[in-house]
């Protein structure tokens, strides 16, 4: 047997999906749900604390934004650290950081809004940190034959974190108070401890760092074979593996860097813009309160979940690149039509409200395809930084989106700008343009990853000609 690290990875790629694998996937998904539960719970906490602590609009805005800013820094910093020091323990540390800071909010003195803001910044930092490590670990852990469907499907339950936060606040807030609600943030410490006990380190990452002895132990256990029957490697697979890791390394792949930024900024802006303004616009058009328009957005959310299921399986048949283009152009067409014909009637309802339902298939459902894609397009030694870049662009989109909508509406409220009928068409044409940018990015910059083993080195990234040949083979 050839004495090369690639052979060890190839053998590992043939391993069966055993109980340890499924336990790891389950723990990763569970921790993500709890992390996003903590991340979105702040809206309910601030709603209670603002009148109780006599907070100003500026103070509550800072409290709400702090986690988002923390997530940007967490994803960038942890991505670089994970490429340098490994996936497993940095994932555990990210989850634990999020849980400890979220739960600690329940212990702060009344009126300590600055301390609250600081802890929420750390919560966001932990969420961004965990996300930038969990995706590469799951992608690298999953065999190529199963990777497209399984890694996409892990994104489906993440949105349950938002739903769980809403349901928990609605049912338990009056029973346990805001401190009890905040104390639930400690829960993710349990899956973090189980991940530390059960989950193995990424074999692909170990091989790229030249730590073959550790990789061989994991592969031997996965294949139930003696270690001495596996290939041995005594040197790092890449001469650059011992160099310090920095985000500047991503610029060695400018095509993939630009693709990641455009796709994630556009997707985040479109998604957040719809959910920020959609309920208010529907309420204005129907002449009801936003609370009365909320049931429609339950349908929109359910359609988004259906879209996530669809975009988990569809890439297995037509590839990730084409699915990404469908997502982008679908956003552009559906939101563009909603913008131009928002005041018409369709099936007895405002056309805007009806059109948002199929649009959710794209602006929400498409995340199942693009989330693992960020870890697949970069070589393993850059994968966590690639996901960190994606999450940072995602976080910036959530902040820049409301700013752009505020400029369009001509309002001074830059955090939650209020929608007006006059601003519907230009605002949603802007969101449609974000979708168009996604579609064009996948069309001109996208690479196909479905069915392709993960690249261990930069020179394994396919050229445009090689990528075209691969797409032809898939089709």
Within 8 A by CB and 6+ apart from 385, the residues are: 79, 80, 83, 245, 247, 249, 250, 378
Mean pLDDT throughout 182-186?
90
Least trusted range by pLDDT, from 91-105, 141-155, 205-219, 455-469? 455-469
Integer CA distances (angstroms), 253 to 78, 172, 235, 458, in order: 20, 48, 25, 8
Instruction: Report the largest interatomic distance among the alpha carbons of the chain, rounded to a whole angstrom.
Output: 74
Q: Which band of pLDDT confidence, cut at 50, 70 and 90, is reported for residue 65?
A: confident
pLDDT category at 157 given cuts 50, 70, 90 is confident
How many angstroms separate the Cα of 79 from the Cα of each of 99, 141, 247, 393, 460?
Answer: 19, 17, 9, 13, 21
Q: Which of 13-22, 46-55, 459-468 has the lowest mean pLDDT?
A: 459-468
User: What is the DSSP code string of 139-150?
Assistant: HHHS-HHHHHHH
Q: Single out the residue of 48, 59, 132, 138 nearest to residue 97, CA to CA.
A: 132
User: Burial code of 344-374, b = ≥16 C-beta within 10 A, e = fewer?
Assistant: eeeeeebbbbbbbbbbbbbbbbbbbbbbbbb
Select the more confidently predicted residue: 374 or 343.
Answer: 374
81 confidence band (pLDDT: 50, 70, 90): very high
Strongest mean pLDDT among 161-170, 285-294, 392-401: 392-401
Percent above pLDDT 90 for the chain: 50
Dist CA 412 CA 389 (whole Å): 30
Q: Which domains are assigned to the chain? A: 5-229 (1.20.1250.20), 247-474 (1.20.1250.20)
Task: Supply φ then ψ for residue 201, to 5 degrees.
Answer: -70, 155
User: How many Cβ atoms sit within 10 Å of the Cβ of residue 54?
Assistant: 10
Q: Quick check: 101 pLDDT over 90?
A: yes
Q: How confident is the model at residue 283 (pLDDT cuts 50, 70, 90)?
A: confident
Q: Is the pLDDT of residue 51 over 70?
A: yes
Contact 17, 467 (CB under 8 A): no
Q: Does position 244 have pLDDT exceeding 70, yes or no?
A: no
> Which residue shows structure tokens 């031997």?
220
Helix runs in 287-319, H state only: 290-318
Q: Which two tokens stand for residue 183?
A: 């104390």
Q: Decide if pLDDT at 85 tops 50.
A: yes
Q: Are 143 and 15 a contacting pair, CB within 8 Å? A: yes
Higher-confidence residue of 85 and 416: namely 85
Tens of pLDDT, residues 304-334: 889 999 999 999 999 999 999 999 999 999 9
**Which of the 8 DSSP states describes residue 346?**
E
State yes or no: pLDDT of 445 exceeds 80: yes
Question: If you search the block for the tokens 């997530």, which residue do you land on?
Answer: 71
Which residue do the tokens 């069309």 mark? Answer: 443
Handedness of CA 428, 429, 433, 435 (dihedral sign): positive
Average pLDDT of the residues of the chain: 85
Q: What is the mean pLDDT of residues 248-267?
A: 92
- Residue 431 above 90 pLDDT? yes
* Residue 349: φ, ψ to 5°: -125, 160
Both tokens of 191, joined, read 């899956």
The dihedral sign for the CA sequence 258, 264, 267, 272: negative
The pLDDT score that the predictor gives to residue 290 is: 57
Note the pLDDT tens digit of each residue in 32-44: 888 777 777 777 7
* 106-129 tens-digit pLDDT: 999 998 999 999 999 999 999 999
Describe the chain by its helix, strand, coil percentages, rounded to 5. Answer: 80, 0, 20
Please answer whether residues 443 and 325 qualify as being in contact, where contact means their C-beta atoms are separated by less than 8 angstroms. Answer: yes
* DSSP helix/strand/coil, 41: helix
> Is-contact 5 237, C-beta < 8 A?
yes
Q: Which residue has the higher pLDDT, 246 or 380?
A: 380
- Decide: 123 and 185 in contact? Cβ < 8 Å: yes
* Mean pLDDT value of segment 171-200: 89
In Å, how far are 21, 263, 269, 322 from 139, measured between CA atoms?
12, 19, 25, 20
Lowest mean pLDDT among 150-159, 225-234, 239-248: 239-248
419: left (phi over 0), alpha (psi -120 to 50) or beta: beta
pLDDT at 360 over 60: yes
Distance CA 187, CA 25 (A): 18
Confidence of residue 351 (pLDDT cuts 50, 70, 90): confident
Question: Does pLDDT of 185 surpass 80?
Answer: yes
């Amino acid at each position: 047997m050839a004495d090369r690290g690639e052979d060890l990875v190839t053998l590992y790629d043939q391993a069966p999906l055993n109980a340890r694998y499924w336990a790891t996937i389950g723990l990763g998904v569970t921790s993500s749900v709890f992390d996003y539960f903590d991340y979105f719970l702040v809206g309910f906490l601030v709603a209670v604390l603002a009148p109780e602590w006599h907070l100003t609009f500026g103070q509550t805005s800072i409290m709400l934004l702090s986690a988002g800013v923390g997530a940007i820094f967490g994803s960038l910093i942890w991505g670089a650290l994970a490429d340098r020091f490994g996936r497993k323990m940095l994932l555990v540390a990210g989850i634990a950081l999020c849980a400890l800071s979220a739960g600690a909010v329940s212990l702060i003195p009344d009126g300590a809004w600055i301390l609250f803001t600081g802890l929420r910044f750390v919560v966001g930092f932990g969420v961004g940190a965990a996300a930038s490590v969990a995706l590469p670990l799951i992608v690298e852990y999953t065999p190529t034959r199963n990777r497209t469907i399984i890694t996409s499907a892990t994104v489906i339950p993440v949105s349950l974190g938002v739903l769980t936060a809403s349901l928990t606040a609605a049912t338990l807030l009056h029973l346990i108070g805001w401190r009890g609600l905040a104390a639930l943030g400690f829960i993710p410490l349990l899956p973090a401890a189980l991940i530390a006990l059960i989950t193995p380190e990424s074999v692909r990452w170990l091989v790229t760092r030249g730590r073959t002895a550790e990789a061989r132990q994991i592969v031997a256990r996965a294949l139930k074979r003696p270690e001495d029957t596996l290939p041995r490697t005594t040197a790092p697979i890449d001469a650059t593996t011992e160099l310090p890791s920095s985000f500047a390394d991503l610029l060695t792949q400018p095509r993939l860097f630009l693709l990641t930024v455009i796709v994630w900024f556009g997707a985040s802006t479109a998604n957040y813009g719809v959910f920020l303004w959609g309920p208010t616009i529907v309420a204005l058009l129907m002449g009801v309160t936003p609370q009365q328009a909320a049931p429609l957005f339950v349908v929109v959310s359910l359609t988004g979940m259906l879209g996530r299921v669809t975009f988990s399986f569809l890439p297995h048949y037509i590839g990730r690149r084409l699915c990404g283009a469908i997502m982008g152009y679908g956003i552009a067409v559906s939101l563009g039509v909603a913008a131009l014909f928002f005041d018409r009637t369709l099936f007895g309802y405002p056309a805007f409200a009806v059109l948002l339902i199929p649009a959710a298939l794209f602006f929400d459902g498409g995340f199942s395809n693009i989330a693992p894609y960020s870890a697949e397009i970069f070589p393993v030694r850059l994968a966590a930084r690639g996901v960190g870049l994606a999450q940072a662009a995602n976080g910036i989109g959530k902040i820049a989106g409301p700013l752009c909508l505020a400029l369009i509406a001509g309002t001074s409220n830059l955090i939650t700008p209020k929608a007006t009928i006059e601003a519907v068409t230009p605002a949603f044409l802007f969101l449609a343009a974000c979708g168009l940018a996604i579609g064009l990015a996948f069309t001109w910059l996208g690479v196909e990853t479905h069915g392709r083993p993960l690249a261990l080195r930069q020179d394994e990234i396919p050229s445009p000609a090689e990528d075209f040949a691969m797409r032809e083979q898939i089709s």
